[in-house]
A and B are shown apart, each in its own frame.
Chain A
């Protein structure tokens, strides 16, 4: 019943998109002469390009389909993933952490750990990142294959293989440069499909007031329209199933800071900006579209819930939550804009996988192969290696795609992975950047025990030893445990070790002058025009978020 009736016009629009994207890959390939061209795209891009790529890298098919699913399942409280779970961390990254990353001249996030801590910490983080990237790329592949199967009638395996082949050609040719330029393009196509869908969806149920009335009458109840009501400690009646402490600390602090400030798939976009100010503005520019994206994901989710009979009850033959956006597309969009919307779904999928693959090849080549496995080879060797890793990563991701099939809600699965892999890293970074006393082994044991603690909470909850209010609450607590254990172990091990030599901290730790005599501080770049000042941009983003939280409380 989900099958779309695509006409020749829709297929033409889709085909034109593929021609343009593959064209970007071909043109970008001509610019690739060295491994640095392929894996870094240079530090030459303007802030608006890296900013839109930053937000598009996160706007994968899983994000869009998963957030619409959350909208139908948890209601308006899904905005926490954006306004609490993303904006504060993005602003923090732009104003506080980006200056440290950019001036250290690292080529990847794990490389910062090599400079600050020791090789063991570096390898641990690089390996964990590589594994997580491949798993998440697999989830993205699976998500698109489901959509292809439901909408176009392609078998699952054909969808996975065809989509993987497109990404392989496009990233394999142009590397990070074609990934970033492709992401900017994808950003606009995704919105060109989702905005009309959201408008038509609201009109189809008779406007916002009628939508609100019907959501209150649905399984979500009155709190389905509120982000904060019913999240009191010990008295949780909001569909999100977590209290406000869990939301603020688990999602807002640990989970989101871990993801946004240390995930190399994101930071890589900011590192490719042309100067420090542009790198700081990258996540801040990205914050503005991020604030408003819930309007085009949560609203279709709510409409699907009230307009499609038996929605979300897949046990009794209804559609799954993940079907919200595809089902509405088929029902509401006529040929023409339908083609744009289908293209947008493809584009969002490619944005997600391209980000994973283009960060994976950099980390494997520059953080594992070059320093440890095959030292001192020619640059041509590492360029070939980067391309080989791209191919290998895509092939493993295809295998992973089938692993994702066991979970009903893709987003929760993704969050589980982030909780385990990302949450502890933030503790390691923030201690390393601001506490001179943190030692190499403190960083290593903190990171390792954090990952183990997060995994333990996840496994114990799956085994039924620990019980939580909802799957989402599990991810909050496992992220919290990972962060807390990492921080405590890092501090304890550091206290018992010998303080690191000053030369090891030079230029990368707050207040320790580098070899060039420059002391890293939080002084912001002087900018002539107001819209280039990071603190002002970040302040506006935060103020907007506060206002929206009050409006939707």
Chain B
């Protein structure tokens, strides 16, 4: 009774969409929006955040993370997981 729902049944969940593109897309969108907002920020916004261009830098960081995820997802697409053929442990 505890074996149903094995890999064959639900791997389609994993293949249906690659969550790395979702992460990259959303963070990338946030990043671009914040960079634009940051470039438009004036003295008022700067003063509120203790003199730190927080929109600009957060935006840049988000874009970097987003590019990393998109690059990872396109360089190692799902379904060609040659590197994931792991040797099972002696008791697995």
State how many angstroms separate the Cβ of A433 from the closest Cβ of chain B.
14
Q: Which residue of B lies closest to A7 (CB)?
A: B37
Interface size on A, residues (CB 8 A): 69
Contact yes or no, A13 B30, CB < 8 A: yes
State how many angstroms separate the Cβ of B54 from the closest Cβ of chain A.
5
Contact yes or no, B26 A337, CB < 8 A: no
Within 8 A of B (CB), among A304-347: 331-337, 340
Name which of A150-158, A253-261, A477-485, A516-524 contacts chain B.
Answer: A516-524
Chain B residues in the interface with A (C-beta under 8 A): 2-7, 9-14, 16-17, 19, 22-23, 25-27, 29-30, 33-34, 37-38, 41, 44-45, 48-52, 54-55, 57-59, 61-62, 65, 84, 86-92
Q: How far is the CA of A376 from the CA of B5 in the complex (A)?
A: 17
Q: Which residue of A lies closest to B90 (CB)?
A: A523
Contact yes or no, A276 B88, CB < 8 A: yes
Q: How far is the CA of A520 from the CA of B59 in the complex (A)?
A: 49
Chain A residues in the interface with B (C-beta under 8 A): 9, 12-13, 16-17, 20, 24, 27-28, 30-31, 34, 36-37, 39-46, 49, 99, 102-107, 111, 115, 177, 181, 184-185, 188-189, 192, 195-196, 199-200, 203-204, 274-278, 331-337, 340, 518-521, 523-528, 532
Which residues of chain A are near B14, meaning CB under 8 Å? 42, 44-46
A337 and B34 in contact (CB under 8 A), knowing A34-B9, A525-B89?
A: yes
Q: How far is the CA of A327 from the CA of B48 in the complex (A)?
A: 13
Q: Which listed residue (A189, A199, A274, A526) contacts B89, Cβ 8 A?
A: A526
Which residues of chain B are near A185, meaning CB under 8 Å? 19, 22-23, 26
A523 and B33 in contact (CB under 8 A), knowing A46-B84, A334-B48?
A: no
Of A41, A115, A196, the most chain B CB neighbours within 10 A belong to: A196
Which residues of chain B are near A20, meaning CB under 8 Å? 22, 25-26
A36 and B5 in contact (CB under 8 A), knowing A28-B13, A41-B13, A337-B55?
A: yes
Q: Which listed residue (B5, B27, B41, B52) contacts A107, Cβ 8 A?
A: B5
A37 and B5 in contact (CB under 8 A), knowing A184-B23, A337-B54?
A: yes
